[in-house]
């Protein structure tokens, strides 16, 4: 987790949905980001890595931009990873000897981001009748496991299912690249544009993926995984939830108490881990609303904060002309959301649980798509796009 930053790279190789690279780039997480082709692929959650950030990036410490020869960088990686995670350097070397640089992965990361689609074009990519029906069938098939996770965490079953639907079309598209190859390629050959203004970001992205490669080795040790056999997105995101290695390690849960965290084929673990990500990283509120439609009084200027932290009281929002179009619990704080709908601007108020979804992929439209898909899966009527 994400991870996710990113609006949407509508290509596949689902990027890291569940881990947001630092700094925010572009979902999984790594994701991204992150995204489900013949239809465009979903934003990967943590890496919709190369999409346009929708929020201001935080201030970051300086990074050394001096080029380091590959052999030196690789040797440093082996030494530092072995020391950091208590691993045998020879074993790391033996595994890296199996890794391959993949030109296709470099090309995917180099691909220019598509224009940012307005909401009325974005929503139909993810919310189709087929995806709604698929979500209902998936929920019905796994109702018991999902009910246990919902009872334990407060994250509704339909929200967990919607994440899986947006990320991987309910497991139909979890990626086709060896995770080792993806992370090795991006850790040591992250594409350079040649633009001096982009160099710092490119170096930071390479270092992010180098860290994820190290985390992959740590994950292999902790979960007794053959890291050379794992398959995922072109950014290294894995499983139905598209977790990057760091998110797998930090937020993965052994949902059925069998002594392993298996986010590839164990549904109990997958569902519990997605919910845990929402709770631990996003601060999910049990029983809380996600978002409600709102109106903006005529003549009032739109208020568009730089992120979706729900810090504004209803009174503050009311003074700016925002009124919820549905009942809201007193004392609730929210953030205003503006979307470009098919018939004009749409206004919403997003609450803590909306913010929690943006931690999976830092895009207001991604979060709204997950929310509305979850509502449709639960049988609720959706507003027009």
Domain limits, the chain: 1-290+351-385
**Taking Cα atoms as reference points, which of 103, 81, 101 lies closest to residue 91?**
81
* pLDDT of res. 37: 30
pTM: 0.86
C-alpha dist (Å) from residue 347 to 223, 286, 292, 316, 334: 45, 24, 9, 16, 12
List the catalytic residue out of 167, 206, 212, 375: 167
Interatomic CA distance for residues 342 and 321, integer angstroms: 22
* pLDDT of res. 182: 98
Q: Is 316 a catalytic residue?
A: no
Number of neighbours of residue 115 by Cβ within 10 angstroms: 9
* pLDDT of res. 18: 54
**Taking Cα atoms as reference points, which of 171, 183, 186, 274 lies closest to residue 236?**
183
pLDDT per residue over 164-183, tens digit each? 999 999 999 999 999 999 99
> Which residue positions in the chain have pLDDT lower than 70?
1-59
Kindly give the residue spans of alpha helices, DSSP state H, lying in 189-260: 199-223, 245-251
Interacting residues of 209 by C-beta distance below 8 A, sequence separation 6+: 183, 186, 187, 190, 235, 236
């Amino acid at each position: 987790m994400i991870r996710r930053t990113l609006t949407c790279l509508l290509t596949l190789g689902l990027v890291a949905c569940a881990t947001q690279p630092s700094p925010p780039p572009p979902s999984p997480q790594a994701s991204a980001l992150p995204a489900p082709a013949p239809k465009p692929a979903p934003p990967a959650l943590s890496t919709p890595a190369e999409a346009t950030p929708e929020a201001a990036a935080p201030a970051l410490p300086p990074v050394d931009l001096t080029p380091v020869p590959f052999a030196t960088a690789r040797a440093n990686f082996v030494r530092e990873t072995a020391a950091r995670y208590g691993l045998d350097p020879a074993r790391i070397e033996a595994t890296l000897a199996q890794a391959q640089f993949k030109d296709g992965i470099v090309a995917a990361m180099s691909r220019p981001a598509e224009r940012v689609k307005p909401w009325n074009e974005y929503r139909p990519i993810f919310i189709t009748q087929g995806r709604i029906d698929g979500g209902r069938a998936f929920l019905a098939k796994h109702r018991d496991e999902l009910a246990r996770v919902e009872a334990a965490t407060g994250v509704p079953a339909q929200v967990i299912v919607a994440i899986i639907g947006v990320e991987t079309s309910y497991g139909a598209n979890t990626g086709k690249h060896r995770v080792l190859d993806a992370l090795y390629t991006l850790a040591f050959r992250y594409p350079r544009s040649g633009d001096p203004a982009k160099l710092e970001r490119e170096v930071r992205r390479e270092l992010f993926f180098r860290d994820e490669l190290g985390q992959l080795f740590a994950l292999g040790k902790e979960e007794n995984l053959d890291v050379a056999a794992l398959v995922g997105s072109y950014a290294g995101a894995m499983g139905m939830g598209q977790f990057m290695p760091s998110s797998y390690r930090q937020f993965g849960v052994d949902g059925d108490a069998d002594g392993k965290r298996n986010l590839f084929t164990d549904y109990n673990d997958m569902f519990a881990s997605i919910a845990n990500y929402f709770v631990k990283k996003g601060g999910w509120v049990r029983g809380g609303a996600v978002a409600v439609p709102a109106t903006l009084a005529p003549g009032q200027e739109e208020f568009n904060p730089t992120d979706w932290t729900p810090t504004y009281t209803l009174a503050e929002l009311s003074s700016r002309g925002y009124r919820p179009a549905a009942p809201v619990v007193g004392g609730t704080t929210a953030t205003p959301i503006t979307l470009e709908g098919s018939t004009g601007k749409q206004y919403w108020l997003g609450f803590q649980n909306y913010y929690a979804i943006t931690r999976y992929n830092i895009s207001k439209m991604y979060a709204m798509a997950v929310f509305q898909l979850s509502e449709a899966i639960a049988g609720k009527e959706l507003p027009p796009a």
